[in-house]
């Protein structure tokens, strides 16, 4: 299926690994030109090499910490021709209210919550001036199904869901689509690390972490490529009536 994305300029934050890299690869397979954003140039170089070797597309990279003040303006200056923005950067620590102190709470929100908001604020007017563009926010199921054991992330994700719905409901008036995707636990180095910690606590053996996935829908975590392919399709002209919606990708667990 031709998604009509050839030569589209796509910026992916948190694009050097995990879901972000999978999204960049998915777009590149459709002929789009991804720009990967992450804090570490070495990881970006490795990601760009993978995109080139697997798709033949030469990706661009920008090393930048989006949690820093003014970073969104700096990044937007590199994205004057951007067609699609994928907000994906950010990791929020687990724990209940008493586990996560104010410093960690604010620090994680600077990247995941305010990072999305600030970059969107900079990019949206560029897209509005051209009467076209797509902004996709990769959020997380904890926003739709809050958990006390992940209260900081649940609260940030819930805010991003509201942000996406509010903005996407009106952005279409200027030709811009804004939507979100809520992945459930998705296979990655970070997720494996979290499950190892849980297995160490539950079983006194971090090597038993895979046992924690057997009760998930389909007996496994989601694959990064599954989230990536959905994102790519929803950003394409074939999904041009989609805006203001946040799609839950949790294997039906929320309604089980």
Burial environment of residue 252 by CB neighbours within 10 A (0 to 12, 13 to 18, 19 or more): exposed
Cite the beta strand spans of the chain per DSSP E: 9-13, 33-38, 60-63, 84-87, 133-138, 176-183, 246-249
Check if the beta carbon of residue 233 is closer than 8 Å to that of residue 239.
yes
Task: Spell out a b/e string for 228-247, using b for 16 or more CB atoms within 10 Å of the CB, else e.
Answer: bbbbbbbbbeebeebbbbbe
Phi, psi (deg, nearest 5) at residue 158: -65, -40
Q: Which residues are catalytic?
A: 150
Contacts of 20 (CB under 8 A, 6+ apart): 12, 13, 14, 36, 38, 86, 88, 89, 138
């Amino acid at each position: 299926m031709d998604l009509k994305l050839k030569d589209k300029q796509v910026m992916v934050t948190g694009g050097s690994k995990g879901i972000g890299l999978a999204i960049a690869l998915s777009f590149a397979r459709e002929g789009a030109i991804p720009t990967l954003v992450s804090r570490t140039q070495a990881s970006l170089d490795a990601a760009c090499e993978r995109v080139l070797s697997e798709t033949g597309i030469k990706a661009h990279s920008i090393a930048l910490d989006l949690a820093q003040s003014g970073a969104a303006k700096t990044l937007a200056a590199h994205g004057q021709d951007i067609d699609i923005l994928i907000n994906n950067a950010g990791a929020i620590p687990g724990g209940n209210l008493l586990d996560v102190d104010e410093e960690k709470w604010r620090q994680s929100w600077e990247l995941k919550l305010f990072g999305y908001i600030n970059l969107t604020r900079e990019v949206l007017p560029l897209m509005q001036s051209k009467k076209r563009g797509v902004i996709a926010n990769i959020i997380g199921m904890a926003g739709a199904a809050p958990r006390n054991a992940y209260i900081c992330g649940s609260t940030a994700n819930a805010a991003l869901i509201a942000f996406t719905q509010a903005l996407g409901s009106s952005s279409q008036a200027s030709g811009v689509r804004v939507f979100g995707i809520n992945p459930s636990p998705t296979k990655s180095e970070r997720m494996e690390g979290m499950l190892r910690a849980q297995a160490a606590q539950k079983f006194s053996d971090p090597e038993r972490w895979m046992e924690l996935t057997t009760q998930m829908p389909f007996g496994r975590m989601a694959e990064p490529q599954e989230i990536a392919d959905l994102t790519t399709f929803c950003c394409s002209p074939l999904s041009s009536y989609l805006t203001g919606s946040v799609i839950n990708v949790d294997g039906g667990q929320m309604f089980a």
